[in-house]
Amino acid sequence: MLQKKEAETARRDALDISGLSLAVSRSGTDVPLLAGVSVRVARGETVGLVGESGSGKSLTSRSALGMLPRGARTTGGVTVSGVDVLGADRRTLRELRRTRVSMIFQDPRASINPVRRVGDYLTEGLRARGVSSREAAERAPDLLDQVGIRDPRGALRRFPHEFSGGMLQRVMIAGALSTEPELLLADEPTTALDVTTQAEVVGLLKTMQEAHGTGMLFVTHDLDLAAAICDRIYVMYAGRIVEEATGASLFRSPAHPYTRALLEASPSVHGEKAVVKAIRGRPLALAEAPSGCSFRDRCPLAEESCAEGVPPYRAHGASTVACLRPEEVAP
């Protein structure tokens, strides 16, 4: 009975990363990159993964596609719609990438062939997923229409360089959602765009994702943006998840000093003037982080006890947090 229930839960989750640790070997030494990362995305849910550069966001999201660094050793598990990604053979992985998971990257120009027409890009994507050429050609204009591209038939004949960055990212979104995947990985999808275009693209992504019931893992360093669009958010620091909470509660009452510092470092304009406080020190990779709490060198609340071991997760308010004294983290 319990097994059946667990199987049903696994099916409902678009993504379940469970206790994922990952290390590579460089010049004969072990370099740990992720430690005990657990991230869950239910179908239809929007989940944020935030943290400074190098915290492990891309490594985590790419693990859902089975794209790991060369020679990586892992413990823990990654399942997408119940399929074991880390144990999958090449054929299963290919099938998974074709049908169940799509990814949108930061720079659309880097991930689309510049010498092929946009129409070919879209129809090839559909055909790779088993749609006939005739049906693919029929569906392509609708796909572009849905993402707000005017004159879709004309657009299909154009080349990527004839589109602005924002318009090209719309094309990528159309392609990524054309197969109605269960999981969409969006790794900094708007970082290369100006603010207005960013808002339009994020709005479109949300609308499309909700319409298809797709689970989305939204990777960004922008906590304000994540809080605005995500149901839940994971905060990452030095290869670990340090806090998880709903978007609203994380914004209102952060429980980890790092989350609070990230909020203070973002140029939000809620008050009369934006006050931006940079986080002291620089972000660290897991391999160079101190023992105990990785953030303690930069933390204004750090005490000796913070060096004694990695803080275990505990519930505090609406958060699950890896900090010994979250009650001292005032909002």
Ligand X SMILES: Nc1ncnc2c1ncn2[C@@H]1O[C@H](COP(=O)(O)OP(=O)(O)OP(=O)(O)O)[C@@H](O)[C@H]1O
Q: Which does 69 bind (CB under 5 to 8 A by kind): Mg ion, ligand X, none?
A: ligand X
- 13: part of which helix (H) or strand (E)? strand 13-26
Instruction: State the nearest-atom distance from the C-beta of 183 to Mg ion, in Å.
Output: 18
Residue with smaller CB distance to ligand X, 88 or 285: 285
For 187, the token pair is 């790794």
Task: Mark the segment that binds Mg ion (CB under 5 A) among 50-58, 73-81, 249-257, 317-325.
Answer: 50-58
Helix, strand, or coil (residue 225): helix
- 282: part of which helix (H) or strand (E)? none
Quick check: 63 and 41 in contact, CB under 8 A? Answer: no
- 58: part of which helix (H) or strand (E)? helix 57-63
Residue with smaller CB distance to ligand X, 58 or 319: 58
- Residue 145 has a CB neighbour count (10 Å cut-off) of 15
> Residues in the site for ligand X, rule: CB under 6 A?
24, 33, 51, 53-59, 69, 221, 285
Instruction: State the nearest-atom distance from the C-beta of 69 to ligand X, in Å.
Output: 3
Instruction: State the nearest-atom distance from the C-beta of 322 to ligand X, in Å.
Output: 17
Quick check: 44 and 13 in contact, CB under 8 A? Answer: no
253 lies in the binding site for Mg ion (CB under 5 A)? no
60 lies in the binding site for Mg ion (CB under 5 A)? no
220 lies in the binding site for Mg ion (CB under 5 A)? no
Instruction: State the nearest-atom distance from the C-beta of 183 to ligand X, in Å.
Output: 18
58 lies in the binding site for Mg ion (CB under 5 A)? yes
Report DSSP state, residue 36. E
Give φ, ψ of 293 to 5 degrees. Answer: -75, 125
Residue with smaller CB distance to ligand X, 25 or 305: 25
Q: Which does 3 bind (CB under 5 to 8 A by kind): ligand X, Mg ion, none?
A: none
Residue with smaller CB distance to Mg ion, 107 or 224: 107
Instruction: State the nearest-atom distance from the C-beta of 215 to ligand X, in Å.
Output: 20
Quick check: 236 and 57 in contact, CB under 8 A? Answer: yes
Q: Looking at 95-222, which runs of residues are DSSP E strands?
A: 101-104, 183-187, 215-220
Instruction: State the nearest-atom distance from the C-beta of 92 to ligand X, in Å.
Output: 23
123 lies in the binding site for Mg ion (CB under 5 A)? no
Task: Mark the segment that binds Mg ion (CB under 5 A) among 16-24, 57-65, 153-161, 205-213.
Answer: 57-65
Q: Write the burial class of residue 154 (CB in 10 Å: 0-12 exposed, 13-18 middle, 19+ buried).
A: exposed
Q: Which does 183 bind (CB under 5 to 8 A by kind): Mg ion, ligand X, none?
A: none
Q: What is the C-alpha to C-alpha distance for residues 276 and 255, in angstroms, rounded to an integer?
A: 20
Quick check: 178 and 25 in contact, CB under 8 A? Answer: no
Residue with smaller CB distance to Mg ion, 58 or 259: 58
Q: Which does 54 bind (CB under 5 to 8 A by kind): ligand X, Mg ion, none?
A: ligand X
Q: What is the C-alpha to C-alpha distance for residues 316 and 98, in angstroms, rounded to an integer?
A: 40
